[in-house]
Structure 1
Amino acid sequence: MPRPDERYDYSPILDRPSASWPGGKKLAVYVAMGVEHYTFGEGQTEDLLEGVSAPDLVNASWRDYGNRVGAFRLLRRMETFDIAPTVLLNTALYDSAPQLLEAVRRSGAEVVGHGVSNSHSLGSFSEPEELLYLKEVAARIHDEEGAAPLGWSSPWLTQTSNTLDLLGESGYRYVLDLRLDDQPVWLNTRSAPLLAIPYALELNDSTSIIGRNVGAREFADMIIDEFEELLLAAGEQRLVMSIVIHSFISGAPFRLRQLARALEHLAGRGDQVWFTQPREIYRVMADERSAATGMDVTDEVR
């Protein structure tokens, strides 16, 4: 199993050259929204209340709120701030919530592969099974959206020792599972180079609000504080900030009100920020790599 230091080289941020994002901006910000499907009574679940006996209608209905209500309100609120979302999509929702996918398309969202259902993770797959699974997710999104996803986000942030290698072999070009840096980092794989785009492990309503009982107001303050600190650091070099929300968590009205407060703060500094999506970050990085190597990224094989 490759160690982390075999996937990427050590590089202290102070030693890197200065560069900018499009428009001369130094801080890129994207908002990722998990839109997830759970198979009732099966596999892993994200629960608000622990220890509920089966059949657990309470937690199942809490999760369903996201696809019936929360996601629509989050999409609408982001639109008011002119933020095009990034949707981490379980493809089972194409069958269980088709109207939600219509709203996702209208929002101009980028769709990122996030598995079939969040009831399962990659952890138990053999290498052939995982390769087939990754390809099936990409094929379903291609069939529904007209283009395969460039990016992948693992359900439950779980990987096997093969995942990073198989992503490139399945046609994915970037991964959102990791926060090893405030800049995108090219990962070493046995196939085409894979870009790790910074992904919030703490500015993440699942890990913070549900996992560590952070309040909605505190979570909004965390977003604002991270933004201001990264904006200060970005005076020297371009950086990436991500915010990760889920339809059934941040879509709750009292949390949405606090999230909107944070997004309004960020939008008020729009002249200094590139509000974007991971695919646009990838394209900038891929173009620069191609210019430096004289070879298209998709043609590179390790």
Structure 2
Amino acid sequence: MKKFENGNDRYDYSAITTRPVYDWPDGKRLAVYFALNIEGFEFGRNPGNDFTSMPSAPYHRGYAYRDYGNRVGVWRIHALFEQFGMPLAVLANGSVYDVCPEVLDAFRKRGDEIVGHGRTNSEKQADMSEESERSMLQDVCALIQRYEGKPPAGWLGPFISQSSRTPELLKAQGFKYMLDWWFDDQPMWFRTDNGPILAVPYPSMELNDLPAYVNRGASDEEFSRMAIDAFDEQLAESENYPQVYCLSLHTFLTGQPHRIRQLRRILEHISQQRDRIWLTTPQAIAEHVTALPPGVVPGG
């Protein structure tokens, strides 16, 4: 694999303004998808910040806070997307099938895409040995295959965490795309020693409710404004070249009653432009891009 001076051998520099222009289905230029993180945690292991103070064992506040999302918050989000008739990409930990399978039953009935998202959010891939990571990927794929009738096409690591060999392991396992690398507003081919895998845009830092609320301290209204402003700007820019807009949500955050009202405002705004956008899933985006002629998308 070619090595570059800056140490990144995964993809080349490419200016979005100078690439070949292509369309999404029906001549649309803005692909829009919503990613819903449905996660499970092991009690007694640190589930992350709970907004109040540094967590300490047995971490019951953080565990209970996140469990609220699977018991209450997820159903508010489910009802809202049903109301607006919009698809979802469900980023599910494998443990959710064991702890609260009826949650995933509800999204399966809608026909939503299930994206691999680790066994549990109590572990990170960056902390695993290569063999342990390979085994984990195999376990998750087998679990999703069993319940969904097919393996997942896409992957997002818990905590958006990767080891140095994750892309190779994903490709070897048969994944078509990954969401862990957000370095563009278009899908890009990403090099691995096992051949290219597609990097589909996912808002790991910006239009993601968890870093917005927890790390940056954004208010509910500020997050809604960011989501709407980004949509409007990308829709305008997409007149010149295709883009992907994604909003990433967590059940225990956006599933709170006060934030559901904010999400409703966002969906109402986006719905007004339904005839100009492609409401879709990351798998459909990946399939469309993969079918484009060679050379249209950099890196292949």
TM-score by length of 2: 0.93
1:63 and 2:66 are equivalent in the alignment: yes
Q: What is the rounded CA distance, in whole Å, between the counterparts of 2:294 and 2:227 in structure 1?
A: 35
Could you list the runs of 4 or more consecutive aligned residues of structure 1 that deviate by over 4 angstroms after TM superposition? 1-4
Secondary structure of the equivalent of 1:6? coil
Note if contact 1:72-1:103 (Cα within 8 Å) is conserved in structure 2: no
**Aligned residue-pair number:** 292
Q: What is the rounded CA distance, in whole Å, between the counterparts of 2:55 and 2:87 in structure 1?
A: 37
Secondary structure of the equivalent of 1:249? helix
Residue in 2 that maps onto 1:256: 260
Q: What is the rounded CA distance, in whole Å, between the counterparts of 1:241 and 1:66 in structure 2?
A: 24
The answer to which of 272-281 and 207-216 deviates more is 207-216
- Superposition deviation, residue 212 in structure 1: 1.1
Q: How does 1:111-190 map to 2 (within 5 A)?
A: 111-190=114-193
Secondary structure of the equivalent of 1:248? helix
1:17 and 2:46 are equivalent in the alignment: no
Alignment partner for residue 265 of structure 1, among 264, 269, 291? 269
Q: What is the rounded CA distance, in whole Å, between the counterparts of 1:80 and 1:4 in structure 2?
A: 47
Q: What is the rounded CA distance, in whole Å, between the counterparts of 1:71 and 1:26 in structure 2?
A: 30
- Superposition deviation, residue 45 in structure 1: 2.6
Q: What is the rounded CA distance, in whole Å, between the counterparts of 1:192 and 1:282 in structure 2?
A: 16
Q: Structure 1: where are the runs of 5+ without partners? A: 294-301
Q: What is the rounded CA distance, in whole Å, between the counterparts of 1:54 and 1:286 in structure 2?
A: 46
Name the % identity: 40
Q: What is the rounded CA distance, in whole Å, between the counterparts of 1:69 and 1:116 in structure 2?
A: 22
Note if contact 2:46-2:59 (Cα within 8 Å) is conserved in structure 1: no
1:278 and 2:282 are equivalent in the alignment: yes
Q: What is the rounded CA distance, in whole Å, between the counterparts of 1:138 and 1:31 in structure 2?
A: 22
Q: What is the rounded CA distance, in whole Å, between the counterparts of 2:35 and 2:55 in structure 1?
A: 29
Alignment partner for residue 218 of structure 2, among 210, 214, 231? 214
Q: What is the rounded CA distance, in whole Å, between the counterparts of 2:255 and 2:217 in structure 1?
A: 16
Q: RMSD between aligned alpha carbons?
A: 1.7
Secondary structure of the equivalent of 1:169? helix
Alignment partner for residue 73 of structure 1, among 73, 76, 79? 76
Alignment partner for residue 205 of structure 1, among 198, 203, 209? 209
Secondary structure of the equivalent of 1:179? coil
Secondary structure of the equivalent of 1:165? helix
Secondary structure of the equivalent of 1:5? coil
| 1:182 to 1:94, Cα distance in 2 relative to 1, 3 A | same
Secondary structure of the equivalent of 1:133? helix
- Superposition deviation, residue 53 in structure 1: 4.2
Q: What is the rounded CA distance, in whole Å, between the counterparts of 1:274 and 1:4 in structure 2?
A: 36
Q: What is the rounded CA distance, in whole Å, between the counterparts of 1:138 and 1:208 in structure 2?
A: 30
Secondary structure of the equivalent of 2:36? strand
Per-residue displacement from partner, 1:88-111 (whole Å, max 9, x unpaired)?
100111110011111121222100
TM-score by length of 1: 0.93
Note if contact 1:44-1:119 (Cα within 8 Å) is conserved in structure 2: yes
Q: What is the rounded CA distance, in whole Å, between the counterparts of 2:189 and 2:284 in structure 1?
A: 15
Residue in 2 that maps onto 1:299: none
Q: How does 1:88-103 map to 2 (within 5 A)?
A: 88-103=91-106
